[in-house]
């Protein structure tokens, strides 16, 4: 049953590597993946599409409840569909991230998306990537990880990603945006960004992606959750 499926929660600030690590862990374990941040980005994107103001909390909550989204995988690559349109690239811009952070600070929106996130919990297991997966959404998860890295390193990583995508961006501006988003996420009244009391914090500032994946896989194996991986 869904409530019995194990969950690995991976929380942390933007740029700590949650998305990449969560995707790789889901592939390694053969589990389902929940990118909770995408749901907030999609809500913000839908708001712009339907001309809903980001401070209209009731309208945004209604939009979140009725969000027509799907995450199919085609040719080995995941897609992000909103009302049938692939918006995967559009919701990954810095502007989209800022808008998502604003939307995520609204209690009614978070409440509207809560059950939708919990519905992703299905056998054989779920890797849940976000900012409140371990503290709010899956409090009973057997393994909770809080990934972090210095703001400077996270800005450097984002800058490199944008350069590789052919997008011109200012490193100093990216650092300011990350610091502003951190402040908003940690200081919001509902589900602020913080490690769960029983979470293990891992600083990825000086760690490579394979090192983090190996560390998590070993941890799950030791706990008897990922035996045979």
- The predicted-structure confidence for 97-145, as pLDDT tens digits, reads as follows 889 989 988 999 999 999 889 988 999 999 999 999 999 999 999 999 9
Inside any domain, residue 161: yes
Domain that holds residue 16: 2-222
Residue 15 is labelled as binding a ligand: yes
Return the percentage of the chain with pLDDT > 70, whole number.
Answer: 95
Look-up of token digits 């049953």: 1
| 178 found inside a domain | yes
**179 part of a folded domain:** yes
Give per-residue pLDDT as tens, 136-169: 999 999 999 999 999 999 999 999 988 887 888 8
Residue of 151, 112, 128 lying closest to 199 (CA atoms): 128
| pLDDT tens-place string over residues 25-46 | 998 998 988 989 899 999 999 9
Averaged pLDDT, 187-215: 93
Instruction: Please report whether residue 229 resides in a domain.
Output: no
- What CATH number is associated with residue 25? 3.40.50.300
Residue 21 has pLDDT above 70, yes or no: yes
Higher pLDDT, 93 or 52: 52
12 labeled part of a ligand binding site: yes
What's the whole-model pTM score? 0.85
Q: Contact at 8 Å (CB) between 21 and 216?
A: yes
Query: Is 228 assigned to a binding site?
Result: no
16 is in an annotated binding site: yes
User: Would the annotation count 123 as a binding residue?
Assistant: no
The reply, when asked if residue 18 is annotated as ligand binding, is yes
Instruction: Give the number of domains in the chain.
Output: 1
224 annotated to bind ligand = no
Q: Measured between alpha carbons, how far is 52 from 63 in angstroms, rounded to an integer?
A: 9
Interatomic CA distance for residues 34 and 45, integer angstroms:
18
Question: Which alpha helices (H) appear in 52-167, and where do they start and end?
Answer: 57-65, 94-104, 107-118, 151-164
């Amino acid at each position: 049953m869904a409530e019995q499926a194990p969950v690995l929660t991976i929380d942390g600030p933007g740029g700590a590597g949650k998305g990449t690590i969560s995707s790789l862990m889901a592939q390694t374990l053969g589990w389902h993946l929940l990118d909770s941040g995408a749901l907030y980005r999609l809500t913000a994107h839908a708001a712009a599409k339907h001309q809903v103001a980001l401070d209209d909390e009731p309208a945004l909550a209604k939009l979140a409840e009725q969000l027509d989204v799907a995450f199919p995988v085609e040719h080995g690559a995941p897609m992000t569909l909103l009302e049938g349109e692939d918006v995967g690239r559009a919701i990954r811009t810095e502007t989209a991230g800022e808008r998502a952070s604003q939307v995520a600070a609204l209690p009614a929106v978070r409440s509207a998306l809560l059950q939708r996130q919990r519905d992703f919990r299905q056998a054989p297991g779920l890797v849940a990537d976000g900012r409140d997966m371990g503290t709010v959404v899956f409090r009973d998860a057997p393994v909770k990880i809080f990934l972090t890295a210095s703001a400077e390193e996270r800005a450097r990583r984002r800058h490199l990603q944008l350069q590789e995508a052919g997008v011109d961006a200012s490193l100093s501006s990216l650092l300011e945006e990350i610091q502003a988003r951190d402040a908003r996420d940690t200081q919001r009244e509902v589900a602020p960004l913080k490690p769960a009391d029983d979470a293990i914090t891992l600083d990825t500032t000086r760690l490579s992606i394979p090192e983090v994946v190996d560390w998590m896989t070993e941890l799950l194996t030791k706990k008897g959750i990922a035996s045979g991986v």
